[in-house]
Amino acid sequence: MQRLLMNIYRKLHQAYGPRDWWPAETSFEVMVGAILTQNTSWRNVEKAIQKLKGKGVLNPEGIHHLKKSQLAPLIKSSGYYRIKTDRLKYFVDFLFDDYCGDVKKMGKERPGKLREKLLGVKGIGPETADSILLYGLKKPIFVVDAYTKRILSRHRMISENASYEEVQKLFMDHLSLDEKLFNEYHALLVHLGKTVCKKIPRCEICPIRGIEHRA
């Protein structure tokens, strides 16, 4: 399985090159983006990010001091904006309660412990927590999302209804716990999902087509 996973990685990397993820200027921006992009296209999230930046509030203090009624219109473009307003607030409250609003302090927490704590914050599920850990704080945690599951399931590497933890375990049990590898790998899977897989039936041009049978 390790060989298979690395073969797929190499194929994707050859085909698409480094993806340079996550597109953000700060760790905090990654975290906000991770919440805003829940079941939402990144394009819609970008608009919200730009608005937050424009108002100068894309930082812990900024979000913390905004009223919900001020925050909501800024993130409207990202959809589910009432819920996401609450979720951003819950997250920032947690950041202040446990780490004095300091992202660096949060980064010093043991990753396993922090993951548990993040999952305890309302509005943060496994994918959002892991995105915060991997892309925000550079911890070696593999992020699983809809694309990851779809691709692996189509290539018969997992069952269609595999759980999040199950898919994550597949990567983390068989690859070295390398933050850079996990970062690039997941980003490549998303790119593949957004491009080739989106244009079914065009599996014949998929860069990883066929390799699963050689493993």
Partner DNA sequence: GACCAGGCACATC
Partner DNA sequence: GATGTGCATGGT
Smallest distance from the beta carbon of 2 to DNA, in angstroms?
25
Query: Should residue 133 be labelled a site residue for DNA when binding is judged by CB under 7 A?
Result: no
Query: Should residue 176 be labelled a site residue for DNA when binding is judged by CB under 7 A?
Result: no
DSSP class of 135:
I
Smallest distance from the beta carbon of 177 to DNA, in angstroms?
20
CA distances for 186 relative to 159, 168, 196, angstroms = 19, 11, 15
Segment near DNA (CB under 7 A); pick from 6-14, 40-48, 49-57, 58-66: 40-48
Smallest distance from the beta carbon of 215 to DNA, in angstroms?
26
Query: Of 52, 50, 212, 20, nearest to 135 (Cα)?
Result: 20
Residues constituting the chain: 215
Query: Should residue 153 be labelled a site residue for DNA when binding is judged by CB under 7 A?
Result: no
Query: Should residue 83 be labelled a site residue for DNA when binding is judged by CB under 7 A?
Result: yes
- For residue 23, how many other CB atoms are within 10 A of its CB? 14
Question: Is the separation of the CB atoms in 75 and 36 below 8 Å?
Answer: yes
Segment near DNA (CB under 7 A); pick from 1-9, 32-40, 107-115, 169-177: 32-40
Instruction: Give residue for tokens 């065009």.
Output: 202
Query: Should residue 43 be labelled a site residue for DNA when binding is judged by CB under 7 A?
Result: yes
Question: Is the separation of the CB atoms in 148 and 108 below 8 Å?
Answer: no
Interface positions with DNA (CB under 7 A): 21-23, 33-34, 37-44, 47, 76-77, 79-84, 121-129, 131, 135, 145-147, 161, 163-164, 190, 193-194, 198
